[in-house]
Structure 1
Amino acid sequence: MVGSTVMAGGGVEVTRVGGRWRVTRPWPRLLRPVLHSYAGYWEAAASPYRVRLVPTGRAVVVISLGEPFARIRRLGDAGPSSQVTGSLVAGLEDGARVCDHPGGQEAIRLELTPLGAYRLFAVPMSELTNRVVELRDVLGPDAGVLVERLAATSDWGARFDLLDLALSARLARGPRPAPEVTHAWRLLSRAGGAVPVGRIAAEVGWSQGHLIRRYTEQVGLTPKMSARVLRFHRAMGLLTRDGANLAEVTAACGFYDQAHLNREFRALAGTTPGRTAAARVTEGALAL
């Protein structure tokens, strides 16, 4: 439930969203092509919670300015949970992840396009697939200094200024994705995943094998898995709208039938379309 919005000066906007406050400001021009979301937030009342993060086709950065997540694990994974103690980077996922938080969270969260993340992180995105790692393990020791400076001020305008400068500088010197991979991602994302890999390879002028290798390196998922995730993410967005119709969503997103839709939701999110439609969804997370 969204409450009132307050303008805090300098273009900073503060909005009550459920049990938290969300802080935003217009993004710098250089960052706009690589971002899906960029916001600060803090809890209105500190209380433990659990969310399920589902695949979105985006990379995530969480800069923790308060309490960090207590436990992060892949759904159904019996192994140890990710040992992340503070700010984190999450690569692209092909399955759901459950996160537990003790309460008292204050953070800045960014959702990046995969090729924007490739430029910003300056590592092959395939190395981060289905992984959650410490921010400093990707951005180096300077990340710790940046987080300390962000935490040292309570002024959100100043926080965004610091982070805008750091992100813009890193992005400017980051590696450039191959034009063919950029075009392949654009084709898939604009079509919601409804483009055959063979057609993409033909359009960019590469063999399918070469496309799969280069695309997976720079995006983090294979073209086929990207298509599945993008189709799922589009369906999830449609299902959570008021008056959503399951049959219409099935047809609009290119699923063969509702059984196919159900299988994909169970495989990628560990839930059903019906439960997703009834859940509260915030920035790729289902409240549990």
Structure 2
Amino acid sequence: MVDRPVEIRDRGGWLEARGRPHRALRPFLRVYQGYWEPVAVPSRMRTLPTRSAVVIVNLGPPMRLATPSDAGTEYGSFVAGMHDGHGEYTTPGGQHGVQLDVTPLGAYTLLGVPMARITNAAVELPDLLGPGAAALVERLAGTPSWAARFDLLDAFLLRRLEIGPVPDPEVARAWRLLDGTGGAVGVARLAEDVGWSRRHLTQRFTEQAGLPPKVMGRVLRFQRAVGLLSRGGLGLAEAAAVCGYYDQAHLNREFRALAGCTPSELLGGMLEQQRVTTAAEPA
């Protein structure tokens, strides 16, 4: 173990501890995000489709996750697979834990299961990884230092990396092309590039990454549009053109389908959350 730097940030109402994972894990996982609420405040948050599977190592009370097809299920520590729709977290407050945002193929290796198995679903961490995951959560809860907690996560994940399945090189290349272009590459071009038929690529990519390449591209375009619009400087029509939508009406339809609301409603909610966070931060 090494003396790793940990950055503590005040997010207004809750605190965040950020540390980089081991170098061997960084292609799949950019940062460990520890979090805790000094004061318990019930909260509700919209979830959106992203480029990552989410692992929550929960050291606090259970969280409730709802989707359009599920009224809500309570989870302790869990994995949320790749999603192509929106959902909602509700918590009683007093949250405490670590969040890991893992690339789809990184999750395929580190979790050791086909990602298609948990598409648009969540599963308790011990149910997926066995009793070792429960022991990890217990050890993390009993470790007061965030640096030491991140060391424990490194050790656990590096063992998973050694024994986990390796994605097909063709699937890995297709993912890099999709991710690197914000979902702008079509399935036919991907198949031609990797030397597979469209059908075979779709089958293998879906199994290992969790979503078909066409749907993954849709999610990546949406995520890119959300990022551009939230930073400001672009109107809806401009963002639609940059992100590969036919027109603004197409962008609006995609936001309703993937986020459950219009772009203006989503951005308004994000702005309001930023105002609340800023107002809560100490001067």
Alignment TM-score > 0.5, same fold: yes
Aligned to 1:266: 256
Distance 2:13 2:236 in 1: 29
* 1:21-40 matched pairs, under 5 angstroms: 21-40=15-34
Distance 1:211 1:10 in 2: 40
Letter of the structure 2 residue corresponding to residue 74 of structure 1: T
Residue 192 of structure 1 contacts residue 227 of structure 1 at CA under 8 Å; is this kept in 2? yes
Q: Alignment partner of 1:264: what SS?
A: helix
Aligned to 2:159: 169
Distance 2:15 2:217 in 1: 33
Residue 20 of structure 2 contacts residue 31 of structure 2 at CA under 8 Å; is this kept in 1? no
Residue 34 of structure 2 contacts residue 98 of structure 2 at CA under 8 Å; is this kept in 1? yes
Residue-by-residue CA offset, 1:119-157 (whole Å, 9 max, x unaligned): 001111000000011001111111000100000122111
Aligned to 1:215: 205
**Residue 181 (str. 1) matches residue 174 (str. 2):** no
> Structure 1, unaligned stretches of length 5 or more?
1-8, 282-286
**Residue 74 (str. 1) matches residue 64 (str. 2):** no
Larger displacement relative to structure 2 (10-19 or 212-221): 10-19
Corresponding pairs, count:
270
Aligned to 1:150: 140
Aligned to 2:195: 205
Residue 41 of structure 1 contacts residue 107 of structure 1 at CA under 8 Å; is this kept in 2? yes
How much has 1:191 moved relative to structure 2?
0.8
Letter of the structure 2 residue corresponding to residue 30 of structure 1: A
The one of 129, 137, 142 aligned to 1:139: 129
The one of 5, 9, 12 aligned to 1:11: 5
Q: Alignment partner of 2:73: what SS?
A: coil
The one of 104, 109, 119 aligned to 1:129: 119
C-alpha root-mean-square deviation of aligned residues, in Å? Answer: 1.5
How much has 1:271 moved relative to structure 2?
1.2
**Residue 42 (str. 1) matches residue 36 (str. 2):** yes
Distance 2:200 2:185 in 1: 17
Residue-by-residue CA offset, 1:90-121 (whole Å, 9 max, x unaligned): 00001011111000000100000000000001
- The structure richer in helix per residue is 2
How much has 1:170 moved relative to structure 2?
0.7
Aligned to 2:274: none
Query: Which aligned runs of 4 or more in structure 1 are off by greater than 4 angstroms?
Result: none
How much has 1:242 moved relative to structure 2?
3.4
Aligned to 1:3: none
Residue 192 of structure 1 contacts residue 253 of structure 1 at CA under 8 Å; is this kept in 2? yes
Distance 1:83 1:217 in 2: 27
The one of 94, 100, 105 aligned to 2:95: 105
How much has 1:25 moved relative to structure 2?
1.6
Q: TM-score normalised to the size of structure 2?
A: 0.92
Residue-by-residue CA offset, 1:14-57 (whole Å, 9 max, x unaligned): 01113211101222101100014421011132100001110002
Aligned to 2:79: 89
Distance 2:209 2:122 in 1: 16
Residue 252 of structure 2 contacts residue 262 of structure 2 at CA under 8 Å; is this kept in 1? yes
Q: TM-score normalised to the size of structure 1?
A: 0.90
How much has 1:247 moved relative to structure 2?
2.1
Q: Alignment partner of 1:188: what SS?
A: helix
How much has 1:277 moved relative to structure 2?
2.1
> Structure 2, unaligned stretches of length 5 or more?
272-276, 278-283
How much has 1:258 moved relative to structure 2?
0.6
Letter of the structure 2 residue corresponding to residue 172 of structure 1: E
How much has 1:280 moved relative to structure 2?
2.5
